[in-house]
Chains A and B, each alone.
Chain A
Amino acid sequence: KQEVTQIPAALSVPEGENLVLNCSFTDSAIYNLQWFRQDPGKGLTSLLLIQSSQREQTSGRLNASLDKSSGRSTLYIAASQPGDSATYLCAVGAMRFGAGTRLTVKP
């Protein structure tokens, strides 16, 4: 059974800092991995989707990487802003979500 873990559970950084969020999974036979953002009481907003054949995807200040052999994905956020404050979730395929990393970016 696929297990998805996100570390750290919470992260607080000053504005402007570059940061990395981690997602690990136990079964490397994945189809894709998707990163989402969730604001309090809201739905999930898709950030990046990485297919199993890809190693990374980029969108603006975000870069997600995938290493299936080690069961890891990272989400890199460059030059963080207070508006980036949210919970970031990774999902392996459609069926397994991590618990998320709650990010706070302080002005």
Chain B
Amino acid sequence: NAGVTQTPKFQVLKTGQSMTLQCAQDMNHEYMSWYRQDPGMGLRLIHYSVGAGITDQGEVPNGYNVSRSTTEDFPLRLLSAAPSQTSVYFCASSYGTSGSPNYFGPGTRLTVT
């Protein structure tokens, strides 16, 4: 299993540009989620999904869109990038059963200038 994969690893955007961060998992996990981590901080939940076709907001959803058309993929869209969205983005997945662990991807480092 490749586990949780994220692309790209690094990205630089100009303010106002849009882009999609990709996340895929091959473990047939129902739950997937997106987090951001600012320098020296813990992770904050952006959006999450409990299955294909179902998404919900986390702690910091503004400026981000998600959709989940398949079990495997959970892309994160930045509609109009802002410097405040400069961060490292992590995707995670889990089975969603009682207490099952989350598995995280390697992250995407995004810089918005």
A binds B: no
B residues at A contact (CB < 8 Å): none
